[in-house]
Amino acid sequence: MLLSIRSLNKMFPGTRALDGVDFDLQAGEVHALLGENGAGKSTLIKCLTGAYRRDGGTVLLEGTEIAPQSTVQAQDLGIGTVYQEVNLLPNLTVAQNLMFGREPRRFGLIDNRAMRAQARRMLQAYGLDLNVDRNLGSYSVAIQQIIAIARAAALSGKVLILDEPTASLDAQEVQLVFDVVRGLRERGLGIIFVSHFLDQVFDLTDRVTVLRNGRKIVTENTRDLNRVSLIGHMLGRELEDATSHDTINRGPRPPMLRFEGIGSRGVIAPFDLAVGQGEVVGLAGLLGSGRTETAELLFGLRNAATGSARDQSGKIDISNPRAGIRNGFGFAPEDRKTDGIVADLSIRENITLGLQARRGWARPIPRDQQNRLADDYIKRLDIRTTGREKRIGELSGGNQQKVVLARWLAMNPRFLILDEPTRGIDVGAHAEIVRLIHELTDQGMSLLVISSEIDELIAVSDRVIVLRDRRHVAELTGDLMNPDQIMKAIAATDAQTKELA
Amino acid sequence: MSTRALPLYITIGIFLLAYLLCWIQFPNMLSTRVIGNLLTDNAYLGIVAVGMTMVILSGGIDLSVGAVIAFSGVFIAVLLRDTGLHPLIVFTLLLMLTTAFGAAMGFLIDRLAMPAFIVTLAGMFLARGAAYMLSIESVPITHPFYQTLQGAYYLMPGKGRLTLIGVLMVLTFVAGMIVAHRTRFGTSVYALGGGETTARLMGVRQGRTTIMVYAFSGLMAGMAGIVFSIYTGSGYSLATVGTELTAIAAVVIGGTLLTGGAGYMFGTLIGVLTMGLIQTYIVFDGTLSSWWTKIVIGILLLAFILLQKGLLRLSQMRMAQQRGQA
């Protein structure tokens, strides 16, 4: 066994990120590591690359226990990593990037000629013939990714970790990278492959390990798995025990918004979307399927290359968030900490932020009105705090989420987008947010809800749209809107999608 | 042609064009006298710009160098006046002091994760203040060794004088080029300027490199101080105010990206000479106010910053095109 991990533990304040995880990697295999956000994939990888130190368990590399303290040390031990964002320097030449830290020297100075020759030889081993004197940044991301792999393999040579290396590549480029990975497998490297794209997992890997909530769920040979069972493992729900749900069929809604042909190359394929008044549209799909991108396009956070939006009174502008807000849209993003809250401001300031921005900074909201707003929402949303002046950074995740919601509700939007509204919050708060969503729609607000948790999605949605590989592939309503169907739609290949539709 | 060296070519092109225009108007501009003076008059600026290039390549900035030059002059003058030390010993002491000063700033920048702007700004006040403490008045240097240094030159054909300090500047640039382009330290500096996180992941020792970069800049500022004291024959605590900004301008006009990671040491030499050329032209003309130097330098700076932005846009567009074709 090349790499053998036994009962690996890693704690973070408040959570157990890894809980007794076992993982084996053989020389000459590509081993997929799968799981949704927060499953523990990146924690596991960071424990291997020295970015984190493990709290318990053993890691054996070729039978010897290792505990790397830094990326460089892990590299020296033989564990190299290639990340989603190319971690090389675009401002250096290809040769400098490949040979960085071990440049051939003559008389103490770098021997540029020998460096170029060595770099060229390294790339020829991968069938690449490049001008190694050009800046790395002048090559496409795929080529850069291959160069990164070449560097990691040359530096480490035992274990290669590929952390979503294909996330920003198109299909042809992916094959280019895969050919390189297959070549390395034949040379006897053990390769850990992390990806959200199941097609690629089935295409490339020999074995699959699924993590969920910090535990290992299963390790199996890839060829013994099918898509549905794999997704079942990832989302934590066997297809068989699909329980029935009381979906409240509230009938058709008066139309409010129509998005037509909204899309952007390499982000998401053009799609149509109609949202009725008081309707909740759910977006289901795996991470990286284009859920968040859909939301960002609708809110104007990303620019749509094609398509248009209209409401009852005519065409509306969705080219930027300011326009989105003017249209009465709201967007509570997935990553609360960086995109949602301003951690150093108080609850009151966070709640009034959006309203104030809309009024213009020259006309401050009177303090007593701010206080009233804050107190009102603290009560209405049951935000647990010692007072409105508490720093929002000190609140728990669920309460932070409620403040973000309050900020949007204070602006009284007609269309609110919630990206993973219940991520990382405890079960009690979870139920409250679901209840709140129902309340809002009763008042006529329309919602777009993105969630990885299928049960939750079904509980709140009138309609669920399923995304896969950056496309909207299915729309489920009524009785069809059940976990079974949704997972089938997520797992389906293209041919099956047509049947479903 | 790659866009890598384009700013450098443009810098050289602008310099040659400017020289050509000057030559057409004043044929005397193309003489060894003018060239000799260009090197001599800008020697201290060139040397300090070598250090500044390294700092800017690493993604930092060093605002202290002007004050360090002034301090150096006063330090040398006072020590030569009040002690019997030989100038060479004083030079050694000074260089050790300014290098340590730079290293200390680098240490603070790295350890406290403070912006280089603030740390070196504090360093600027500190060095200037130390110069005032040594002497408020201009202190003449009368040591015979200094007269030897000032009198040392090679008479080029055409009666141009290639002075010791001019040669020293050229040698400093050669050394700077070797350090920047042919050592692992130099590659680490470019790497840091390209992206700190990535550089760390690639194995750059960030702390060590940062300290060395500012120590190098301190060393260069000390050297520039020595050269300036030879050039003026005195030490004055109010001298070289704003030289750090002139040096930054020379670096940027030389085609180095102000955000770090891209540029050439040779470009800075051309940048320094371009600025010297403008000044020379104004002297030749005789009717123009010397403030025109500042205006032309300002315009050049703006042009280069626009050029850098334009190039960035261009290479991004080309990347997008490549992706489209793939």
Residue for token pair 């809110």: A299
pTM of the model: 0.75
What average pLDDT is seen over chain A? 83
| Residue A315: its H or E element | strand A314-316
Are residues A168 and A150 part of one domain?
yes
3-class SS of residue A362:
coil
Give the least confident one: A424-433, B85-94, B299-308.
A424-433
- What is the structure's pLDDT at A242? 36
- Vertex A261 angle, CA A260 and A262, to 5°: 95
Best of A45, A91, A161 to disrupt the B interface (most B CBs within 10 Å) is: A91
Largest CA distance in chain A: 82
Structural domain of A169:
3-91+135-235
Q: Note whether residue A115 is domain-resident.
A: no
Q: Note whether residue A166 is domain-resident.
A: yes
Integer angstrom CA distances of residue A147 from A128, A168, B47: 9, 15, 38
Best of A100, A111, A130, A156 to disrupt the B interface (most B CBs within 10 Å) is: A100
Are residues A225 and A79 part of one domain?
yes
What is the mean predicted confidence (pLDDT) over B271-281?
Answer: 90
CA distance B172 to B53: 12
B315 contact A CB<8A:
yes
CA distance A423 to A148: 33
- What is the structure's pLDDT at A102? 85
B202 contact A CB<8A:
yes
Write down the ipTM of this complex: 0.84
Q: Note whether residue A361 is domain-resident.
A: yes
- What is the structure's pLDDT at A195? 82
Assess whether pLDDT exceeds 70 at residue B316: no
3-class SS of residue A30:
strand
Are residues A420 and A317 part of one domain?
yes
Q: Note whether residue A188 is domain-resident.
A: yes
CA distance A32 to A386: 46
Q: Which domains are seen in chain B, by residue range?
A: 6-318 (1.10.3470)
Q: What count of other Cβ atoms lies within 10 Å of the Cβ of residue A251?
A: 7
Per-range mean pLDDT, top range of A75-79, B184-188, B322-326? B184-188
- What is the structure's pLDDT at B250? 93
Q: What is the CATH number of the domain that holds A32?
A: 3.40.50.300
Q: Which amino acid is at B315?
A: S
Assess whether pLDDT exceeds 70 at residue B186: yes
Structure confidence by residue, pLDDT tens digits, B221-272? 999 999 999 999 999 999 999 999 999 999 998 989 888 999 999 999 999 9
Are residues A226 and A153 part of one domain?
yes
Between B191, B203, B261, which is nearest A72 by CB?
B203
Q: What percentage of residues in chain B have a pLDDT greater than 70? A: 95
The distance in angstroms from the start CA to the end CA of chain A is 46
Provide the number of structural domains found in chain A: 3
| CA of A405 vs chain B CAs: smallest distance (Å) | 34
Assess whether pLDDT exceeds 70 at residue A342: yes
- What is the structure's pLDDT at A237? 56
Are residues A303 and A369 part of one domain?
no
Q: Note whether residue A96 is domain-resident.
A: no
What is the mean predicted confidence (pLDDT) over B151-161?
Answer: 88
Assess whether pLDDT exceeds 90 at residue B36: yes
Radius of gyration of chain B (CA): 20
- Give, as one character, the DSSP assignment of residue A134: S
- With b for 16 or more beta-carbon neighbours within 10 A and e for fewer, the B185-208 pattern comes to bbbbbbbbbbbbebbbbbbbebee
Asked whether the beta carbons of residue B201 and residue A92 sit closer than 8 angstroms, the reply is no
Domain boundary among the residues A190, A216, A235 is at A235
Are residues A449 and A354 part of one domain?
no
Of the pLDDT bands very low, low, confident and very high (cuts 50, 70, 90), residue A37 is low
Residue for token pair 């403040």: A403
Are residues A77 and A15 part of one domain?
yes
Structure confidence by residue, pLDDT tens digits, A451-486? 877 777 888 888 899 988 888 888 888 888 888 888
Q: Note whether residue A110 is domain-resident.
A: no
Structure confidence by residue, pLDDT tens digits, A181-239? 999 999 899 999 988 778 888 889 999 999 887 888 889 898 888 877 888 787 765 43
Give the least confident one: A18-22, A423-427, A458-462.
A423-427
Q: What percentage of residues in chain A have a pLDDT greater than 70? A: 92
- What is the structure's pLDDT at A238? 45
- What is the structure's pLDDT at A355? 84
Domain boundary among the residues A235, A270, A285 is at A235
Asked whether the beta carbons of residue B190 and residue A92 sit closer than 8 angstroms, the reply is yes
CA distance A298 to A296: 5
Q: Where are the alpha helices (DSSP H) in A206-283?
A: 227-235
Q: Note whether residue A171 is domain-resident.
A: yes
Strand order in the sheet with A268-276: A268-276, A255-264, A306-311, A314-316
Assess whether pLDDT exceeds 90 at residue A364: no
3-class SS of residue A443:
coil
Task: Pick the closest to residue A181 from A157, A155, A162 (CA basis).
Answer: A162
Q: Note whether residue A289 is domain-resident.
A: yes
- What is the structure's pLDDT at B128? 96
B185 Cβ contact partners less than 8 Å away, ≥ 6 residues apart:
B179, B209, B212
Tokens coding B103: 């290293």
Are residues A272 and A248 part of one domain?
yes
| CA of B250 vs chain A CAs: smallest distance (Å) | 21
- What is the structure's pLDDT at B322? 60
Of the pLDDT bands very low, low, confident and very high (cuts 50, 70, 90), residue A13 is low
Tokens coding B172: 């400093």
Are residues A34 and A74 part of one domain?
yes
Task: Pick the closest to residue A222 from A255, A195, A251 (CA basis).
Answer: A195
B312 contact A CB<8A:
no
3-class SS of residue A166:
coil
Domain boundary among the residues A184, A219, A235 is at A235
- What is the structure's pLDDT at A501? 46
Per-range mean pLDDT, top range of A80-84, A237-241, B187-191? B187-191
What average pLDDT is seen over chain B? 90
| CA of A119 vs chain B CAs: smallest distance (Å) | 16
Are residues A385 and A423 part of one domain?
no
- What is the structure's pLDDT at B312? 66
| CA of A150 vs chain B CAs: smallest distance (Å) | 13
Are residues A251 and A231 part of one domain?
no
Count of H-run helices and E-run strands, chain A: 17, 22
- What is the structure's pLDDT at A335? 74
Which residues from B are below 8 Å from A170, CB to CB?
Answer: 323, 326
Structure confidence by residue, pLDDT tens digits, A290-335? 888 888 888 888 888 788 888 888 888 888 888 888 888 888 887 7
Between B182, B194, B203, which is nearest A91 by CB?
B194
Of the pLDDT bands very low, low, confident and very high (cuts 50, 70, 90), residue A246 is very low
Of the pLDDT bands very low, low, confident and very high (cuts 50, 70, 90), residue B326 is very low
Assess whether pLDDT exceeds 60 at residue B325: no
DSSP string, A460-485: H-SEEEEEETTEEEEEEEGGG-SHHH
Give the least confident one: A279-283, A385-389, B34-38, B183-187.
A385-389
Do B263 and B50 form a contact (C-beta atoms < 8 A)? no
Asked whether the beta carbons of residue B198 and residue A87 sit closer than 8 angstroms, the reply is yes
Are residues A231 and A246 part of one domain?
no
Asked whether the beta carbons of residue B201 and residue A173 sit closer than 8 angstroms, the reply is no
What is the mean predicted confidence (pLDDT) over A54-69?
Answer: 90
- For residue A85, give the chain B residue with the closest CA: B198
| CA of B208 vs chain A CAs: smallest distance (Å) | 14
